[in-house]
Amino acid sequence: MEHIVIIGNGISGVTAARHIRKLSDKRITIISAETEYFFSRTALMYIYMGHMKFVHTQPYENWFWKKNRIELKKAYVTQVNETSKELVFDTGETMKYDKLIIATGSKPNKFGWPGQDLEGVMGMYHKQDLESLEKYAPNNKVCKRAVIVGGGLIGIELAEMLQSRNIPVTFLVREQSFWNGVLPAEESEMINRHIREHHIDLRLGVNLQEINADEYGKVKSIIIKETGEEIECNIVGLTAGVSPNIDFLKGSNIELGRGVKVNRMLETNVKDIYAIGDCAEQHEAIGERRPIEAVWYTGRMMGETLAQTICGNPKEYTPGHWFNSAKFLDIEYQTYGWVWAKPKENEARFYWEHKDGKKCIHVSFDKNSREFIGINTFGIRLRHHSFNTWLNEKRSVDYVLEHLADANFDPEFYKQHEKEIITKFNTEQQTQITLKKRNWKRIFSY
């Protein structure tokens, strides 16, 4: 019986295993050094905040795996021998495979900061990080202050977690505005304000220089590079992005870049070895997407796609239109299509923000054809199906705004803002038409 071995029990690896089982009777083994059973990584924050227990983050009962004949092995892989089709564990034990799926996910970035491996320094990506947080920041008596390094979605989640236990937070962000490499200036400034309104000490345009230790080898303070200021703290959260977790492959013949290089079939350069999820890197990016996408839903889609190929139905990975969602403290964020931090040459923009400063929409469209390109929403929840359809149908920006209420999860709530949004859009468009006419008159008057 063909043996499929999957390294990694995150959403990518588990989805691949489930779909391979649906399609075949192959032997399946999932290997993980992190936890015995699959859990929802995005729910870790809610355990710390007291909203659920760890067992509640496990989508499947423990009997599920045996019933579905998916073998689980808690172990750490140190080497892949592609010639003998064999894995080597840190115990010296080995395991044979017929086909290998690498789904090892990400690890937090470290940039060689002095003190980055001290006790009390952690990311917020793994169950072990949650355990470290409970150990070093159980309450505001043990942890007088936390410093978070790196502005992004994981950083803002960690800040919210710590605030739930009344632990003061200083947030070091090297950019001049929060997440401004992704968000346009308007949304980025909204999040700056929102973070500060929650009494988080947001420091923009600064970098970590070093982390200092006390006499016991634990975090004592950090130094800001630009000012030399020392901030006393008990923990440091490293959330300056992630990198593919692939160090154990560096002695193999598997082609590596930042991640494991794969083609559209999710195949590596070595026969019968594949890579999916955060650790996979496309040779050529798909459309406007990045070659590596550390996103939950793309990992799930890769797992489903690869299962088809493994089971004799070759299928290319085609993720479709970009979308994502997140939460900045108590403001929900969604994006569909593309709204770049700065508009491209062919793009025009429309931005509306509610007077409360906590709700907005930002629409991108082609300035010539008026085709809808993308939308950001903050504080207004919209339906994925509607935008996926409109992007497929290449609808105009006028059509999208006219039908925006149809896409809203709460149409009655949206109607409170609809008139204001449409009026602002029509006014701006009429102004643009007037300016164009004036420019044409100037040209023809010469």
The answer to whether residues 237 and 257 touch, using CB atoms and an 8 Å cutoff, is no
d(CA 31, CA 16): 13
Condensed to tens digits (0 to 9), the pLDDT of residues 388-405 reads 999 999 999 999 999 988
d(CA 389, CA 7): 36
β-strand partners of 258 = none
pLDDT attached to residue 446? 47
Length of the chain measured in residues: 446
CA distances from 355 to 283, 404, 423 (A): 45, 20, 15
Condensed to tens digits (0 to 9), the pLDDT of residues 208-254 reads 999 999 999 999 999 999 999 999 999 999 999 899 999 999 989 99
Domains of the chain, each with CATH number or no CATH: 3-107+243-310 (3.50.50.60), 121-240 (3.50.50.60), 325-445 (3.30.390)
Task: Indicate the residue type of 214.
Answer: D
Radius of gyration from C-alpha coordinates of the chain: 24
β-strand partners of 243 = 107
pLDDT attached to residue 412? 66
The answer to whether residues 408 and 380 touch, using CB atoms and an 8 Å cutoff, is yes
Q: Which tokens go with 243? A: 């990198």
pLDDT attached to residue 411? 65
The pLDDT of 105-131, averaged and rounded, is 93
d(CA 302, CA 115): 37
Which of 97, 120, 109 shows the shortest CA–CA distance to 7? 97
* pLDDT reading at 431 higher than 90: no
Where does 352-410 have alpha helices with state H?
Answer: 384-392, 397-402, 404-407
Condensed to tens digits (0 to 9), the pLDDT of residues 176-185 reads 999 999 999 9
Calculate the average pLDDT of the chain.
93
pLDDT attached to residue 269? 98
Relative to beta strand 99-102, strand 347-353 is unpaired
The answer to whether residues 300 and 348 touch, using CB atoms and an 8 Å cutoff, is no
Residues 6+ apart with CB under 8 A from 318: 264, 286, 305
What distance lies between CA 180 and its chain's CA centroid? 15
The pLDDT of 381-391, averaged and rounded, is 95
Q: Which residues of 172-205 are buried (b: 16+ CB within 10 A; e: fewer)?
A: bbbbebbbbebbbeebbbbbbebbeebebbbbbe
